[in-house]
Amino acid sequence: MADTGRIARNTLFLSLAHGASKFFSLLLTMFATRILGAAGYGLYTAGNTFIEVGRVLAGGGLDYLVTREVTDDSEAVSRVASGAAAVKVLLSAVAYALVVTVVWRLHYPAAVLHVVLILGTIIFFENISDVADAVFQGFQRMDFTTRTMLVSSAAIFVFAAGALLSGLGLVGFVTGITLGCLVRMVVGVGFLRRRFGRLSPKEVRRKELRRLTRAAVPLMGATILSLVFHRIDILMLSRMVDEAHWGYYGVAVRVVDVVVLAPRILATAVYPQIRLAREYGPPSVARLMTASTRLTVVSCSALALLVWIFAPVAVRVMAGGGYEPAIGALRVLAWAIALQAGAHMMVRLLFAADRERDLLPIGIIGIVANVVLNRKWIPILGIDGAALATVVSYALTLLLYYIYAARSGYRVPLWRSSGGALIALAAAAASTYLLEGESLWLRASASGAVWLAVLFLLRVNVLQELREGWRLLRRR
C-alpha cells in the first residue's frame, strides 16, 4: 500500500518550497501594486498571462511523463531527462515566437509587448528547471526541489524588488524576475548533475525524441487546454475592460493562487503513491484518493470561507488603497479554492492511470463554457462576471473529472470526497449575508460555526480529518 509517511515527508518539503516561493511572491506583489499602480500592474498581468500559456505550450506535458517513467524505471534518468530537455528547448523557441507574434498582431499596448519580449525568456529557463523537478519528484526527493525554490524565490524578490525601488519601472521589474528564473535553472540543473551525474548529449537520440514527442502529444493538449481554461478570464478581460481593471482582477487572482498552493502541494506529493498503488488494484487507488481528496477539500473549503470573509483585508494588505473593485471578484473566486482542491487530486489520478487523453475533452468543454459565460457576464458584471464565469466552469469540470475517472475504472465517490465540504461552504457563505453590517470577527465566528454544523449534519468528521492529517505528518 501507499507509504503515507513518505507522502507526509514530501508534503512537508513541498510546503516549505512553495510556501517560501509564495511568501516572496506576495511581498513582491505588495511592492509592484503600490509602485506600478493599478494600470501598470494590469499591464504586467496581461503580459505574464501570455508567458504562462507559452511556458505550458513549451512544456508539452513532458514533466508528468518524465516523473512517470523515472518512477517506473529508475535507470532511465539520463535518457529520459536528456530527451525531454532537448524537446523542451525546441518547443520553447516556438512558444516564444508564437507568444510575441500574437501580442504584436492583437495590437496590445507597447508596454505589454515589452513585458512579453523580456519575460518570455523564462519560457526556456523554467522548462529546463521543470525537467530537474520532475526527476526529483519521480524519485520522491522533494528536498532538492525545496532547496532550488528557496534560492530562486529569494533571488527573484531581490532582483525585482530592487529594480522597483531603484525606479526602473515595469521593464526593470520583469527583468529582475527573469534573472531570478535564470538562477532557478542554474541551481536546479546543478543539483541534478550532483545527484545523477552529467546528462550527456549522447543520450539524446532521434528515436527517443520521437517517442517522447508522441507520448507527450495528449499531455501537451491537456496541459495547454488546462492553462488556457484557468487564464481565459484574464485574456478576455484584457480585450473588454481597461488596464486598471486588469490590475484589479490580477490582485484577486494572485490572492487565490497563493491559497490554491495547499491542494497543489498535496496532489503533487501523492501522485507517485497513486501510481504505485495501482499494483493493488482500483479499490486501493480509490481508497487513497477518497481519503486524500476529502482531507484536501475540507481543508480548502475552510480556507475559501476565510478568503470570502476577509476579502477586504486581503486586498488592502496585498495592494493598499485604490484596489477596492477587486474585493467582489475575490469573494467569487474564493469558491475556486475549494473546487480546485478536488480538481488537482482528480487530475493526478487520471495522469497516474495513463488516462491523460481524457483531459482533452474535459478541457475543451471547460474552455467553451468559460468563453461563453465570460462573453455574457463581463459586459454586465465586469470583473465580477469574469470571476463568476470561471467558478461555474470549475464546478462543471470537477464533475467531469469524476465521471471520466469512473469510466476508467477508478470510481471515487463524489459525495464522500468533495460534496459535503462544498455544501458546508455554500451554507457558511450564505450565512454571512444575515450578519451584514456586523463586525468582521462576529461574521467570521458565526459562519465558521455554520460550516462545522453542516459538516457534522452531513457526517463529515472534521476532527477525524485533522487527526488523520496530523498522523500523516508525524509518520516517517
Could you tell me which residue, 9 or 287, shows the higher pLDDT?
287
Could you tell me which residue, 454 or 21, shows the higher pLDDT?
454
Other beta carbons less than 10 A from residue 301's beta carbon: 30
CA atoms of 476 and 466, how far apart (whole Å): 18
Q: Which helix (H) or strand (E) holds 261?
A: helix 261-277
Residue type, 81: A
Residue type, 413: P
pLDDT, tens digit, for every residue of 397-450? 999 999 999 988 888 888 888 888 899 999 999 988 888 777 888 888 999 899
At residue 149, the 3 state secondary structure works out as: helix
Lowest mean pLDDT among 86-90, 231-235, 293-297, 317-321: 231-235
Residue-range definition of the domain harbouring residue 394: 4-474
Q: Is 188 exposed, middle or buried (0-12, 13-18, 19+ CB in 10 A)?
A: buried
pLDDT, tens digit, for every residue of 68-117? 777 666 666 667 777 778 888 888 999 899 999 999 998 888 999 999 99
pLDDT, tens digit, for every residue of 134-191? 787 767 676 777 888 888 889 999 999 999 999 999 999 999 999 999 999 998 888 8
- pLDDT of residue 211 exceeding 70, the answer is no
CA atoms of 219 and 59, how far apart (whole Å): 9
Indicate the pTM of the whole model.
0.76
* Exposed e or buried b per residue across 226-242, where buried means at least 16 C-beta atoms within 10 angstroms of its C-beta: bbbbbbbbbbbbbeebe
Mean confidence (pLDDT) of the chain: 81
Q: Which long-range contacts (CB under 8 A, 24 or more apart) does 287-291 make?
A: 288/2, 289/345, 289/346, 289/349, 289/410, 289/412, 289/417, 290/412, 290/413, 290/416, 290/417, 291/468
Could you tell me which residue, 73 or 469, shows the higher pLDDT?
73
At residue 375, the 3 state secondary structure works out as: helix
- pLDDT of residue 204 exceeding 80, the answer is no
Number of domains in the chain: 1
pLDDT mean over 202-219: 58
Give the pLDDT confidence score for residue 194 in this predicted structure: 77
Give the pLDDT confidence score for residue 472 in this predicted structure: 46
Q: What DSSP character marks residue 418? A: I
Residue type, 9: R
Give the pLDDT confidence score for residue 460 in this predicted structure: 67
Residue type, 414: L
Q: Identify the top-confidence range among 210-219, 344-353, 365-374.
A: 365-374
CA atoms of 93 and 20, how far apart (whole Å): 30
